[in-house]
Amino acid sequence: MQELDPMVFLAVFQEMLGPMLWVMLLAAVVAVVALVTLVLRERGIVSRRLVYAELLGLLGGGVALVIMAKVSSSGFTDAGGPADWFLIALVYGVGLVATVIITYAVMGWMRPRQRKASV
């Protein structure tokens, strides 16, 4: 394989995840739109909410690894080379970031920031 073809990646992910691939992509788009809309509406990031979302993101990365182990035919003991460990780290990172985005957006829309009244 001399070239990097995005359609090959799409085919591999489609084979691994089946119809869940499209559900996950739609959820990702909705979460990013919700986050951007929330940040624009509140005119900034709420640090306390972000810290809570980041803490939950640590768990989300672990859940992503469990999902990866369930949908693939190999486990963590089969990881041999650096590419395998890089993929495991990448899956953890994507799970972490996705959980932070979703958690921050959900927390923000459920409890919007209260503006302080100016005197």
pLDDT of residue 1: 53
Supply the pTM of this predicted model: 0.77
Confidence band for 50, pLDDT divided at 50, 70 and 90? very high
Mean pLDDT on 73-86:
71
Domain hosting residue 33, numbered range: 6-110
Residue 66 to residue 42: CA distance in whole angstroms: 35
Residue 16 to residue 119: CA distance in whole angstroms: 58
Percent of the chain exceeding pLDDT 90 equals 39
In a domain, 77, yes or no: yes
Averaged confidence pLDDT in the chain: 84
pLDDT of residue 97: 95
In a domain, 92, yes or no: yes
In a domain, 118, yes or no: no
Number of domains in the chain: 1
In a domain, 117, yes or no: no
- Which CA distances in Å does 70 have to 30, 45, 59, 92? 25, 35, 17, 14
In a domain, 38, yes or no: yes
- 96: how many CB neighbours lie within 10 A of its CB? 20
